Chains A and B, each alone.
Chain A
Amino acid sequence: DAKTTQPNSMESNEEEPVHLPCNHSTISGTDYIHWYRQLPSQGPEYVIHGLTSNVNNRMASLAIAEDRKSSTLILHRATLRDAAVYYCILPIFSGTYKYIFGTGTRLKVLA
């Protein structure tokens, strides 16, 4: 099963961009890359996902390396509300697509 590796924690100043890295060196050609975040006392919230090309939505951008062995979630202007644990996930197909969560990156945003 493809696994992901993320830094345990990162800090950012408010209103500055944040780049959250994820390594997935064992990714296969058909594995999508999903990002979720978990705010305090809430369930995980979908952020973005992609396969090969860079992706943008209202929450964030996802930059995928050309060899797909790593990706970076980009928050363009961090706010205090972005403080959360961010998870990079490669869904595993076993009859259905399942999520295996790693440890994630705890993002602290400084005012």
Chain B
Amino acid sequence: SAVISQKPSRDICQRGTSLTIQCQVDSQVTMMFWYRQQPGQSLTLIATANQGSEATYESGFVIDKFPISRPNLTFSTLTVSNMSPEDSSIYLCSAVVGGQPQHFGDGTRLSIL
């Protein structure tokens, strides 16, 4: 199974700033996704990270707030822009390798002061 590494694992940020989260997969992946998990809640899909093209965002999420890049098959970044306390969440990356079900990273725990 694929190993997914996220950096940073946690961070505390000031409101109004931006943070970029990195996701690295150790295998050639077909698809990559980004999720948000607010405190005590389930996971919500933010977007599909498309290689070499703009990400596909779910309803309620916009590129200006959550720009995503995927320059190659195994690496993607999610930026949380102009952060407010409401953005305090766990952000998770997942990947599909071959025909297998999605594998998830352990997430980035983000707190906004």
B33 near A98: Cβ-Cβ < 8 Å: yes
Q: Is the interface of B mostly helix, strand, loop or mixed?
A: strand
B101 near A44: Cβ-Cβ < 8 Å: no
A: contact size bracket: 20 to 34
A8 to B12, CA, bound (A): 31
Give every chain B residue within 8 A of A104 (Cβ-Cβ). 42
Of B33, B56, B101, chain A has the most CB atoms within 10 Å of the CB of: B101
Nearest neighbor of B58 in chain A, beta-carbon distance:
A98
A44 to B45, CA, bound (A): 13
Output the least CB separation between A50 and chain B (Å).
11
Nearest neighbor of A102 in chain B, beta-carbon distance:
B42
Residues on B lying within 8 angstroms of A by beta carbon are 1, 4, 31, 33, 35, 42-45, 48, 56, 92, 94, 96, 100-107
Residues on A lying within 8 angstroms of B by beta carbon are 34, 41-46, 49, 85, 87, 95-104
